[in-house]
A and B are shown apart, each in its own frame.
Chain A
Amino acid sequence: MSRFEDDLRTALRRKEPPPGFAERALARAAVERETLLERLLGLFRFPAVRWVCAAALLLMLLLGVRYQQARRARQEGEEARAKVLYALQVTGSKLQLVQQKLRQLEAERETQDSAEEDPATSGRKIL
């Protein structure tokens, strides 16, 4: 070993840390009773983790919004369909009433024609 290396070895000899170092290290370790949640939260000190979580949250939010929009659109569609069908049903029932009346009238006319009754006494009119 050369003199130079001896001098280096001397210069780089281990030194004791400042007084109380061990107590401070132990105190820090004692305080650090991390729960799993705290460890996970600790990951947030990395920008990449924050960005990934923010992106994931944004994606979930967007998907949630899209799902709600789709659900709402489906509900609106069902409601619109039901309304239209109901309206047609009501329309149809009144048109059926007309048809029924017409048939009754036709039947009566046939009866009248065969019995030679005065149509004026039938009390029913078609306009």
Chain B
Amino acid sequence: MKELARELSVPLPAEESAGWNDFASLVREHQAMVFSIGYHFLHDVSLAEELAQEVFLQLHRNLKSLKSPSHVKHWLRRVAGHRSIDFSRHRGSMPSVALDDVPEPAAAVVDGDPMLAGKLRKLVASLPPKARMVVILRYQEDLELEEIAAALGMPLGTVKSQLQRALATLREKAARSIGEVYP
């Protein structure tokens, strides 16, 4: 947490700060992160794009208040996380997808079984909203639990318990629905 606080408050040297807040560059740099948070949460490409567009629009409005590149990144994760949860509240908490495959967005070649990956994504999308977002920030963004707590405005203890329960649920569902047993 201390490292996180230090990272957010340290201003960039002048030569590094020039151009860092150029909106177009920021969009290109972070579009995958923001879109993916939305997609993995909502499991819907068009909804995810709509959400991501709104997040970047909000970034455009608030750009002047952001102090550094890492501040921008943290800000985007936080806003994308909250927006996703709000989206799900207004549109229903469960994604409107069947267990059948839906068109997946174009992705780089990934290791592992793509079928399994798709099924795991559907299982994640079936989790309750807050638990879902905890899992996404943990495994998509590799955030530490303290960082997840800061991003979502949740106590650390709650994040831990949410993650534990979510992983247990996912293991159980994976064994039942896709026949994948994880020790």
Contacts and interface: CB of A to CB of B under 8 A. Distances in A.
B135 A8 contact: yes
A32 B23 CA distance: 13
Interface of A: 2-18, 21-22, 24-26, 28-29, 32
Contacts of A29: 23, 56-57, 60
Interface string B37-73: 0011000010011001100110011000000000000
B118 A11 contact: yes
Chain B interface size band reads: 35 or more
B32 A25 contact: no
A10 B139 CA distance: 8
19 contacts: A8-B135, A9-B142, A10-B111, A12-B36, A12-B121, A12-B124, A14-B36, A15-B39, A16-B32, A16-B35, A16-B107, A17-B31, A17-B49, A17-B105, A25-B31, A25-B52, A25-B53, A29-B56, A29-B57
Contacts of A11: 116-118, 120-121, 124, 139
Interface of B: 23-24, 27-28, 31-33, 35-36, 39-40, 45, 48-49, 52-53, 56-57, 60-61, 104-108, 110-112, 116-118, 120-121, 124, 135-136, 139-140, 142, 167, 170-171, 174, 180, 182-183
Contact of A21 (B49, B112, B136): B49
Given A22-B24, A26-B23, A13 B107 contact: yes
Interface of A is mostly: helix
B27 A25 contact: yes
A11 B120 CA distance: 6
Contacts of B52: 17, 21, 25
Contacts of B170: 4, 8
A7 to B, nearest CB: 6
A8 B57 contact: no
Nearest to B60: A29
Contacts of A6: 112
A24 B32 contact: no
B57 A26 contact: no
Closest 3 CB pairs of A and B: A4-B182, A17-B35, A11-B120
A16 B30 CA distance: 10
Contact of B31 (A7, A8, A10, A22): A22
Nearest to B137: A12
A30 B74 CA distance: 24
A7 B120 contact: yes
A10 B57 contact: no
B114 to A, nearest CB: 9
B29 to A, nearest CB: 10
Contacts of B112: 6-7, 10
B150 to A, nearest CB: 20
